[in-house]
Amino acid sequence: MTFCEYKPGLEGIPAAQSSISCVDGTKGILEYRGIAIEELAQKSTFIETAYLLIWGKLPTLDELEDFETDIRLHRRIKYSIRDMMKCFPDRGHPMDALQTSVAALGLFYSRRALDDPIYIRGAVVRILAKIPTMVAAANSMRRGNDPIQPNDNLDYCANFLYMLTESKPDPLSAKVFDACLTLHAEHTMNASTFSAMVTASTLTDPYGVIASAVGTLAGPLHGGANEEVLLMLEEIGTVKNVRTYVENSITNKRKIMGFGHRVYKVKDPRATILQELAEQLFELKGHDEYYDIALELERVVEEELGSKGIYPNVDFYSGLVYRKLGIPQDLFTPIFAIARVAGWLAHWKEQLAENRIFRPAQIYTGLHEQTYIPIDER
Ligand code: CMC
């Protein structure tokens, strides 16, 4: 058998054919189903974008209303899931709470009918509807409070912010948050999507698919970077420390969080939009001193590492937006998951349509023909 060249991280190796999204990393273009992300962030909503990603077309007004209504009706989570969540340790990371809770949905909705469109739609609706409720509930319960019930009068994003704070968000905050979810909803073959597809290819239930994707998203090289960015800005402390921080990072081969991307070799188009959204929020709610540090960091990193194609990625400015919305730092990655679930579900559906189980090869580098040594002779 012949093997093609081994590429660590499968860099550049196609793992699937997909019509869901497309990135041009040298021009800084991202499209969902052929529509530019800038246009969707400005004109669409997260729920409409999720429909577009999952069903491959923009919904009609009736289709969108049905979809929104179904999601609204399924926002609540069962008492037993809430009781289970109450037992989670209050210092556990909310991403672990989310992964466990999503996996638990599989215990309660265990019918698996992957060739039944009604089952598929039900699972899509349930997952999209319940994940924000679970994130907000975990946040309340770790503080010793009861979860805040979903508010049926509020749309998807306003309701999530309401469940976090028990107060209705102002219209700009809700709109900005909605655009953030749209920007994070899908991004071709990233680690968590690949993880979802590998799991999906075994024909397991969709809750297991999403649980594995959540686990993969949690790492600091992937979705966890948005949380790390704020920790880094905190550590830098003031604008005048930026250059030393960058130089030390380069000398010590430490990655600067929120910069660099396997595909983009220019500034991530989502970072540009998120920066604009952050500025809109600062105008309404007041300036954030971390933004000055972030701007200087972008300038110095471009100077030092721009030649290597290291520019801000989606995680660089999202944390500043969430911080201005009053969202706790360790919820940034669960919020990424709330958004990315749309993309994972789209890939799950696409995988099922032409399924073949993933079973890559490996290049064995170990020994052969060794003899077993009895334990008392080792
Ligand atoms: N800071 C400093 N140098 C960097 C950075 C960075 N953030 N990212 C890449 N480089 C350098 C790296 O040191 C290497 O240099 P050299 O060739 O001299 O050894 C070169 O650029 C290539 O880096 P790599 O690690 O081989 O690139 P990769 O494609 O394997 O990794 C990445 C991509 C996103 C994991 C990486 O850029 C990184 O760790 N960034 C920081 C974490 C981060 O912001 N992650 C969020 C990614 S975007 C959202 C998401 O996908 O979830």
pLDDT single digits (tens) 144-153: 999 999 999 9
**Token pair in block for residue 248:** 């030390």
Q: Which percentage of the chain shows pLDDT scores above 70? A: 99
- Give me the chain's average pLDDT, please: 95
**3-class secondary structure, 314:** helix
pTM of the model: 0.94
In the predicted model, is pLDDT for residue 224 greater than 90?
no
| Residues found in the chain | 378
Which stretches of 27-132 are assigned E, i.e. beta strand? 29-32, 35-36
The answer to whether residues 147 and 140 touch, using CB atoms and an 8 Å cutoff, is: yes
Q: Residue 5: which pLDDT band, with cuts at 50, 70 and 90?
A: confident
Side by side, which strands form the sheet with 21-24? 21-24, 29-32, 35-36
Catalytic residues: 261, 315
Q: What SS3 string covers 205-273?
A: CHHHHHHHHHHHHCCCCCCCHHHHHHHHHHHHCCHHHHHHHHHHHHHCCCCCCCECCCCCCCCCHHHHH
Provide mean pLDDT across the span 84-105.
Answer: 96
Nearest to 158 by CA among 126, 132, 191: 132
Distance CA 13, CA 7 (A): 8
What is the pLDDT at residue 337? 98
Whose CA is closest to atom 52 on ligand 1?
Answer: 222
pLDDT band at 3 (very low <50, low <70, confident <90, very high): low
| pLDDT tens digits for range 253-302 | 999 999 999 899 999 999 999 999 999 999 999 999 999 999 999 999 99
Residue nearest to atom 49 of ligand 1 (CA): 222
221 pocket-lining for ligand 1 (C-beta < 6 Å)? yes
Could you tell me the distance, in angstroms and rounded to a whole number, from the CA of residue 259 to the centre of ligand 1?
7
CATH 1.10.230.10 segments of the chain: 225-324
Ligand 1 pocket test, candidate residues 23, 308, 315, most atoms within 8 A of CB: 308
pLDDT of residue 50: 98
pLDDT band, residue 2 (cuts 50/70/90): low
Residues of the chain with CATH 1.10.580.10: 18-168+185-220+331-353
CATH superfamily of 225-324: Cytochrome P450-Terp, domain 2 (1.10.230.10)
> Mean pLDDT across the stretch 343-366?
96
Superfamily of domain 18-168+185-220+331-353: Citrate Synthase, domain 1 (1.10.580.10)
- Count Cα neighbours of 113 within 13 Å in the Cβ-side half-sphere: 9
